[in-house]
Amino acid sequence: MLTITIAIMLMMPQQPHAFIRRSPTVAYRLQSEAGLRPMATARTSLDLLEDDKTLELYEKIADILSANPIWFRTVFDGTLYAPTPYNILCSIFLEISEEIGGLAGKHFTDFGAGDLRASLLAVNLFGMRATAIEKDPIISAKARKVFEAARQEGLTGGLCLLDNTDAFSVSWKDTDVVFLFYPKPPPLLPGDEFRKSLQKKINELKEGAVLAILFVGAQIEFELDLFTDMPPTKNMPLLISNGNGELYLQFYRPPNRLRNLKQLRSGPTYVNYDALSTIQTAA
């Protein structure tokens, strides 16, 4: 079970359903009972893992992570760390591929990289370059062990680890996608410095680059996916997992580069994601 989901849920009163936000979006989400999905559903990764070579790499990385676990913890600055569930990462990369037009050769920045699972998949399954950034000293020490174990297996080509480093202090100008698991529990507090820094930093992204953020259901209910100066590219987040805890993915671009901004702010609509596309894996 996803530990961060449990921790966040225990801090909050029970809500009728994690698909529902506060007004005015609640009316749109309730329409799902009329045959519309309450959230757009992410693409499946099952076909990707049917390839023997890809599956072998996927399982080899999983073995390294199992031998070097990094569990849920509160980071020194008060933010929360929990590893992204391994079984949903391929679905996340499929969505990123759709958003930025392919993955091979692109630069992946892993914000709060933890045990490097997202970065290792990025370089070995999807042919990306990856910069894994971790600032917590304890997690950084464990990340170095994961990196060394992966290096011995020949899995670190194209991967750069920046340990004991704040992702806000690193330039985002060269990256194609910055990925993070949102580290702040609800409710949203006034003057949140993390959110201020995020909304300022996104303006460094080059044309076509995106910020991809993974949220738990409780964060969506409290609208932590909505930013004053960082509008999303999609009208509503993508449902990535509804297993032990609902997880959602949303994309953001610098406000001056986002198309159809007025339409996005006028209210959510239901997006059809039935037409699935495929991506190239690393050779």
| More confident position, 260 or 76 | 76
pLDDT tens profile 201-211: 999 999 999 99
CB atoms within 10 A of CB 176: 22
What's the pLDDT band for 242 if we cut at 50, 70, 90? confident
Helices 89-100 and 117-125 sit at what angle, rounded to 10 degrees? 60
- Mean pLDDT score across all residues of the chain: 79
Q: Dihedral angle at the C-alpha atoms of 126, 97, 80, 82, nearest 10 degrees?
A: -50
User: Which sequence spans correspond to the domains of the chain?
Assistant: 3-264
The pLDDT value recorded for residue 213 is 98
The pLDDT value recorded for residue 44 is 56
- Is it the case that residue 263 has pLDDT exceeding 80? no
Task: Flag whether the pTM goes above 0.85.
Answer: no
| More confident position, 3 or 233 | 233
- To the nearest whole percent, how much of the chain has pLDDT over 90? 59
- To the nearest whole percent, how much of the chain has pLDDT over 70? 73
Which residues 6+ apart lie within 8 Å of 215 measured at CB? 182, 224, 225, 237, 247, 248, 249, 250
Amino acid found at 223: E
- Is it the case that residue 36 has pLDDT exceeding 50? no
The pLDDT value recorded for residue 47 is 67
pLDDT tens profile 81-114: 999 999 999 999 999 999 999 999 999 999 999 9
What's the pLDDT band for 277 if we cut at 50, 70, 90? very low
Segment 232-249 mean pLDDT: 87
Class of domain 3-264: alpha beta
User: Cis before residue 268, ω within 30 degrees of 0?
Assistant: no
Q: Which of 22-26, 264-268, 276-280 has the lowest mean pLDDT?
A: 276-280
